[in-house]
Structure formats: structure tokens, C-alpha cells
Amino acid sequence: MADHPLIGIVMGSRSDFDVLSPAVEILTELGIPHEARVVSAHRTPDLLYEYAEQAQARGLRVIIAGAGGAAHLPGMLAAKTLVPVLGVPVPATMLNGLDSLLSIVQMPKGVPVGTLAIGKPGAANAAIFAAEILATTDAALRERLQAWREARRDEVLAMELPVLQ
Ligand code: RP5
């Protein structure tokens, strides 16, 4: 297994962590080396550039970026690196993440950000999607992913509904 992070999880604020935490949990469960950091597009733009510029050389294969409001973090990272960026809209304002979703998904042609759903489901899916990307060249990870998916299937098959009188 790699001794350096393969996936970078970045978020605009400490306040985003709760929403991004499913991504951390799933990558941990799948045994994928990762890191989680706060990088703000608007408040630490120089750090954003540095993170993006060093991502490839540091061995990052995918970046998961979550932010709320006018969420420029995923798009600006994507503008500065060829490492694929997955964007997670965070519900952080009165607009409940719709603002962030539109900010992230409406990238101009030529600078793609793979945009996931608003909130924790999007964070979880970003981690799974990143794992699937890595699994294209990692047979052991592909097996762990297959087992993970089968466990989700078994959870559903075991579901019982209440009997109403
Ligand atoms: C965004 O502003 C962050 O991604 C966060 O979702 C939101 C609020 O940040 P804080 O004021 O909580 O630091 O840039």
C-alpha cells in the first residue's frame, strides 16, 4: 500500500468537516491512504494554488473538494491541476447547498469538476467514486470495493418492514 496519501480531501472551512466526514470514513474503511485539510478559495488563495500545483508530484490521484456558498474551491483546484477533482456542495447558507451545487457544477467547458450531490451523500459518493478510479489500476482495491458493495446489498436484503395492525 502507498505510504503517501493517494486522495486529498480539502474543504473550505473546519465547519465543512461534518459534511465531508463520510468521505474520510469510507476511504479509511477501504484502506486508501488519504489526507484531509482546510483550504479556502477565498481566504487562503495562495495555499489553494500551492496545494493544486503540488498535488501531482505528491502522488495524489484524486482530489475531493467540498465547500459551501460561492464554492470556488473545486473549480479553482481543477483550473490549476490535471489531478481529477470531485466537488461536494456543502449546505452552509440560507440556500441550503443549492448555491454551492450550482457554483460547482457550472464549470466552463474545458475545466471539468465531477460534481456530486449536496451534503453527506455526495461526500460518501465522492469517496466511492475516487476509490473506483483508483481501482481501475488496483486489483486488490477492486476486490475490497466489490465486498463493500455486497455488504450494502446484504443490508438491504436483511431489511424488514414493520407490520401494521
Ligand atoms: C465556505 O464558507 C466554506 O466552505 C464554508 O462552507 C462556508 C462557511 O465557512 P465558515 O464561515 O464556517 O468558516 O467558504
Q: Which residues are annotated as a binding site?
A: 13, 16, 43
Atom of ligand 1 nearest to the CA of 43: 14
What is the value of pTM for the model shown?
0.96
CB contact at 8 A, 107 and 75: yes
CA of 109 to the centre of ligand 1 (A): 26
Query: For the domain bounded by 7-157, which CATH number is listed?
Result: 3.40.50.1970
Q: DSSP states of 138-150 as a string?
A: -HHHHHHHHHHHH
User: ipTM score here?
Assistant: 0.96
Domain boundaries, given as residue ranges, for the chain: 7-157
Contact residues of ligand 1, CB 6 A cut-off: 12-13, 15-16, 40, 42, 67-69, 90, 92
Q: Which residues are annotated as a binding site for substrate?
A: 13, 16, 43
Digitized pLDDT (tens) for each residue of the chain, 165 residues in all: 678 999 999 999 999 999 999 999 999 999 999 999 999 999 999 999 999 999 999 999 999 999 999 999 999 999 999 999 999 999 999 999 999 999 999 999 999 999 999 999 999 999 999 999 999 999 999 999 999 999 999 999 999 999 998
Buried b (16+ CB within 10 A) or exposed e, 40-79: bbeeeeeebbebbeebeeeebbbbbbbbbbebbbbbbbbb
